[in-house]
Amino acid sequence: MSMKDFDSLVGIWNEQKTSPNINYKEVINHYKTNRSKLSFKFLLEILAMLIAFSVVSYIFFTIEFEFWTSYVGLILVNICCIYFIAMQIINLKNIANSNTLFDKPQDHIQFIKEFKKSRYIQHTRNYKVYTFVLGLGLSLYFVEFFYRLNLAVMITVVAATIAWFVICYLYLMKIYIKKEEKRFNDMLTDLERLNEQFSDEV
């Protein structure tokens, strides 16, 4: 390496060392924005699933079915609704109770990492079980209509339902996971930038 190249390398290093500190307020506001959006998304999903639960419950108690499979199917669908609502309430509560950002930044970073891992498990392993139970519930519910609807209509309904499950599982869920992972990564990036800056100043 020539002396000129060495001087250039030293200059670049010095520029990096003397770069201005990050704007704490900007980073924290960005972190809080992502956190608020995540909480709001959970809240909307809870409300949407409460509506679905109410509709299914209304059908269960107001319509008389000929086959017991319809009642079992609706119960399974509502179990899925209850599970989803319960998980989102827990997620919402965890975010609301995570107040270690300023007291223990390292603990808060660890909390976000564990929360991210937990959500990924919910989206993958738990979602497979959720989809199976929901699909089983709808299948039992459709038994009633097999004897009431025209065969062509029944085939169309079943095909549309299967297509929707496939689209959700193979496409929409991947987009959902990708967006949430990005939000978690943005939050972790903000926290780690703050933590590194604090560590440099100590």
pLDDT string in tens for the chain (202-residue length):
444 444 454 454 444 444 445 667 777 788 788 888 899 999 999 999 999 999 999 999 999 999 999 999 999 999 999 999 999 999 998 888 776 555 566 777 888 899 999 999 999 999 999 999 999 999 999 998 888 888 888 889 899 999 999 999 999 999 999 999 998 898 888 888 777 766 555 4
Query: Is the residue at 18 inside a domain?
Result: no
Number of domains in the chain: 1
Q: Based on the number of CB atoms within 10 Å of its own CB, is 76 exposed (0-12), middle (13-18) or buried (19 or more)?
A: buried
- Which three-class secondary structure state does DSSP give residue 19? coil
Query: Is the residue at 20 inside a domain?
Result: no
- Which three-class secondary structure state does DSSP give residue 68? helix
Query: Is the residue at 73 inside a domain?
Result: yes
Query: Is the residue at 14 inside a domain?
Result: no
Tokens (6 digits) for 10: 């030293």
Query: Is the residue at 8 inside a domain?
Result: no
Q: CB–CB of 22/193 below 8 Å?
A: yes
Query: Is the residue at 78 inside a domain?
Result: yes
Query: Is the residue at 166 inside a domain?
Result: yes
Query: Is the residue at 3 inside a domain?
Result: no
Q: Taking the complete model, does pTM exceed 0.75, yes or no?
A: yes
Which domain does 111 fall in, by range?
Answer: 26-96+105-201
Contacts 24+ apart (CB under 8 A), 117-120: 119/91, 119/180, 119/184, 120/177, 120/181
